[in-house]
């Protein structure tokens, strides 16, 4: 289950991130919401692992959560509060924050692959 949520979080985040950085029509708010929810689930699944690599997994997940939550707040501010609305500048800010979360997700997936490859059956 852990690997599933780590990969799903990365792919949802990638799906939101991909596209012109300043075109709001290419970035779906529901995909951003799904990325936040799945990243939070992945974070919860990482609690309890007392290994060094588990701590790094948790750190990458927390970074992704913070970036995606900040992106969601920026999106909500642009659409609900700002007089300019979701313009190119606001979209670029949201997508950039999502890109930071994507980088953290990629590190988490790489760690997962390394951990899986180095696992030895006993």
C-alpha–C-alpha distance, residues 26 and 50, integer Å: 40
pTM: 0.91
What confidence tens digit (pLDDT) does each residue in 9-32 have? 999 999 999 999 999 999 999 999
The angle subtended at Cα 32 by Cα 27 and Cα 35, nearest 5°, is 135
Residues 68 and 39: their CA atoms lie apart, in Å, by 9
Residues 63-94: pLDDT tens digits?
Answer: 999 999 999 999 999 999 999 999 999 999 99
Q: What is the DSSP letter of 120?
A: -
């Amino acid at each position: 289950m852990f690997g599933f949520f780590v990969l799903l979080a990365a792919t949802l985040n990638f799906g939101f991130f991909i596209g012109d950085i300043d075109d709001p029509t290419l970035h779906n708010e529901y995909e951003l919401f799904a990325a936040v929810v799945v990243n939070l689930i992945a974070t919860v699944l990482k609690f309890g692992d007392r290994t060094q690599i588990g701590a790094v997994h948790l750190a990458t997940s927390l970074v992704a959560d913070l970036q995606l939550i900040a992106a969601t707040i920026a999106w909500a501010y642009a659409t609900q509060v700002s007089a300019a609305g979701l313009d190119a500048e606001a979209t670029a800010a949201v997508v950039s924050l999502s890109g930071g979360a994507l980088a953290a997700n990629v590190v988490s997936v790489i760690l997962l692959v390394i951990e899986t490859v180095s696992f030895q059956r006993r």
